[in-house]
């Protein structure tokens, strides 16, 4: 079970609890449930405050709602354990997921991996002449992320703090993509940082790092083709031998990051995710191709598949931000 699957599973449990009379008929059933990674020191892998939101609609105690849902969710395939903590937080430990299945899903979905089934393309944007560069960049990114999760782009969009110089100067000085990254990498109400670091062509620049990691994934695929092999997801001989567990975890959580970015209207959550994926991919890249006289093996094909899946996530995330993902840097 993926974190995104868990969100829909919890929403379904609420609906069925209402249908079976365990929760009052007037209970508001959420279309989507916010699932977040458990914070350090917490219980399980993921947690949700859904019981608090449900309890508000019926004037019930969150703990009672959480206990009802925990009983229903405890036997669901893919969930190893459900625990209720505090006043009504639901905490989940998920069963280990197949690494090959995850990589295969990412490659199959392509840049739309993490999109909701009812995702729609954002309409072309029309702006008044007075709209500033930062306002356009933030609002367009938010709308694209919302649409990727099947949500309408109505409602309150984030208020945007002005930049310290004229917008046109920012885009002209640093380039549209770099300037866009700078304004999206911080919460909309904070002041973005511009400087020579945006133009640096090394891994000290997060903007460069993310696009470079995507280009490296593409380069690995080209090099593998010259060596006569391609990507093929596969399971390790033993679960404990799974390579790049941190990278696999980030790929598994990508749909959850998109959901949270949409829920909070916060594209900076996506930029942080892309930086983390890029860091792990660049550490992992060195074991993808055969070395010396080594012949390509099933392990190399599986590593290439994982690297290409990471590159796919980077490309899709950059597209949502409105930033190009070049194949070569």
Q: What's the CA gap between 202 and 121, in Å, rounded?
A: 33
* pLDDT on residue 259: 86
Residue 204 CB: number of other CB atoms within 10 A?
Answer: 9
Tens of pLDDT, residue by residue, the chain (329 residues): 777 788 889 999 999 999 999 988 877 777 778 888 888 778 888 999 999 989 988 888 999 999 999 999 998 988 999 999 999 999 999 887 788 999 999 999 999 999 987 788 777 777 766 678 888 899 999 999 999 988 776 555 666 665 555 556 788 889 999 999 999 999 988 888 888 888 889 999 999 999 999 999 999 999 999 999 999 998 776 554 467 899 999 999 898 899 889 988 999 999 999 999 999 999 999 999 999 899 999 999 999 999 999 999 999 999 999 999 999 98
Q: Is 82 helix (H, G, I), strand (E, B) or coil?
A: strand
Q: Which two tokens stand for residue 229?
A: 């092999």
Q: What's the CA gap between 220 and 215, in Å, rounded?
A: 9
DSSP-assigned letter for residue 92: E
* pLDDT on residue 122: 72
DSSP assignment string, 266-326: -HHHHHHHHHHHHHHHHHHGGGTS--TTPPP-HHHHHHHHHHHHHHHHHHHHHHHHT----
Q: What's the CA gap between 180 and 270, in Å, rounded?
A: 13
* pLDDT on residue 32: 75
pTM value is 0.81
Query: Which CA distances in Å does 322 have to 38, 76, 123, 136, 141?
Result: 30, 38, 14, 11, 7
Q: What's the CA gap between 101 and 28, in Å, rounded?
A: 34
- The whole-angstrom distance between residue 279's C-alpha and the CA centroid of its chain comes to 15
User: At a CB cut-off of 8 Å and minimum separation 6, what does 245 contact?
Assistant: none
Q: What's the CA gap between 329 and 313, in Å, rounded?
A: 18
């Amino acid at each position: 079970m993926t974190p995104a699957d868990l969100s829909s599973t919890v929403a379904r449990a609420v609906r069925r609890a209402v249908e079976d009379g365990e929760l009052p008929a007037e209970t508001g059933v959420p279309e989507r449930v916010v699932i977040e990674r458990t914070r350090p020191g917490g219980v399980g892998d993921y947690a949700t405050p859904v019981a608090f939101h449900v309890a508000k609609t019926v004037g019930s105690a969150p703990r009672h709602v959480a206990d009802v849902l925990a009983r229903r969710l405890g036997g669901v395939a893919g969930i190893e354990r459900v625990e209720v903590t505090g006043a009504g937080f639901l905490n989940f430990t998920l069963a280990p997921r197949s690494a090959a299945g995850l990589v295969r899903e990412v490659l199959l979905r392509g840049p739309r991996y993490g999109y909701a089934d009812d995702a729609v393309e954002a309409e072309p944007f029309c702006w008044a002449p007075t709209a500033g560069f930062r306002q356009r960049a933030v609002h367009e990114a938010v709308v694209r992320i919302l649409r990727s999760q099947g949500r309408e782009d109505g409602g309150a969009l984030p208020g945007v703090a002005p930049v310290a110089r004229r917008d046109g100067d920012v885009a002209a000085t640093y380039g549209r993509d770099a300037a866009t990254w700078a304004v999206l990498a911080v919460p909309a109400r904070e002041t973005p940082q511009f400087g020579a670091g945006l133009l640096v062509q090394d891994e000290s620049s997060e903007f460069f790092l993310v696009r470079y990691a995507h280009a490296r994934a593409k380069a690995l695929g080209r090099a593998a083709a010259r060596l006569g092999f391609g990507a093929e997801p596969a399971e390790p001989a033993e679960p404990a031998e799974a390579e790049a567990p941190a990278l696999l975890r980030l790929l598994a959580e990508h749909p959850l990051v998109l959901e949270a970015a949409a829920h909070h209207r916060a594209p900076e959550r996506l930029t942080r995710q892309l930086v983390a994926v890029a860091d792990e991919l660049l550490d992992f890249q060195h074991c993808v191709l055969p070395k010396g006289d080594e012949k390509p093996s099933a392990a190399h094909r599986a590593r290439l598949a994982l690297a290409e899946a990471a590159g796919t996530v980077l490309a899709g995330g950059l597209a949502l931000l409105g930033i190009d993902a070049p194949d070569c840097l």
